[in-house]
Structure 1
Amino acid sequence: MASELIFFTNPMSRGRIVRWMLEETGCSYRTEILDFGPDMKAPGYRSINPMGKVPAILHEGTVVTEAAAICAYLADAFPNAKLAPPPGDPRRGTYYRWMFFAAGPLEAAVSNKSLGFEVPADRQRMVGYGSIEDVLTALEYAVSQSEYIAGDQFSAADVYVGSQIGWGIMFGTLEKRPALEAYWNRIANRPAALKAREKDDALLPPKA
Structure 2
Amino acid sequence: MLTLFHSPHSRSSAIVALIEEMGIQDWVEIREVTIPRMDGSGGRDPANPHPEGKVPVLVHDGHVITERAAIILHLTSLFPDSGMAPAVGTPEWGVFAMWLAWYQGVLEPTFIMEAAGVSHPWLTAAVRDHQTAVARLRAALDKGPWILGEHYSAADLLLHAPYAWFPEATPADPVLRDWIDRCLARPARARVLDRDASRMQAA
TM class by shorter chain equals 0.7 to 0.9
Which residue in the other structure is 2:14 paired with? 17
What is the TM-score of this pair, normalised by structure 1? Answer: 0.83
Specify the code of the residue in structure 2 equivalent to 1:9.
H
- Do the aligned partners of 2:146 and 2:152 also contact (CA within 8 Å) in 1? yes
Query: Per the alignment, do residues 25 and 123 of structure 1 end up closer, same or farther by CA in structure 2, a change over 3 Å counting?
Result: closer
List 4+ stretches of structure 1 deviating above 6 A: none
> 1:50-89 alignment to 2 at 5 Å?
50-89=51-90
C-alpha displacement at 1:156, in angstroms?
1.3
What is the TM-score of this pair, normalised by structure 2? Answer: 0.85
State how far apart, in whole Å, the 2-side matches of 1:66 and 1:81 are. 20
Q: What is the CA deviation profile of residues 137-181 of structure 1, one whole-angstrom value per residue up to 9, with x for unaligned ones?
A: 11211222222211222221111112233234x2x2342322211
Which residue in the other structure is 1:40 paired with? 44
Are 1:184 and 2:164 an aligned pair?
no
Which residue in the other structure is 2:146 paired with? 148
Which residue in the other structure is 2:199 paired with? 203
Identity, in percent, stands at 26
Specify the code of the residue in structure 1 equivalent to 2:14.
I
State how far apart, in whole Å, the 2-side matches of 1:123 and 1:71 are. 27
State how far apart, in whole Å, the 2-side matches of 1:88 and 1:206 are. 44
Q: Secondary structure at the match of 1:118?
A: coil
Which residue in the other structure is 2:39 paired with? none
Which residue in the other structure is 1:109 paired with? 110
- Do the aligned partners of 2:3 and 2:30 also contact (CA within 8 Å) in 1? yes
State how far apart, in whole Å, the 2-side matches of 1:76 and 1:59 are. 13
Q: CA RMSD in A?
A: 2.3
Structure 1 unaligned segments of length 5 or more: list them: none
Query: Per the alignment, do residues 89 and 71 of structure 1 end up closer, same or farther by CA in structure 2, a change over 3 Å counting?
Result: same
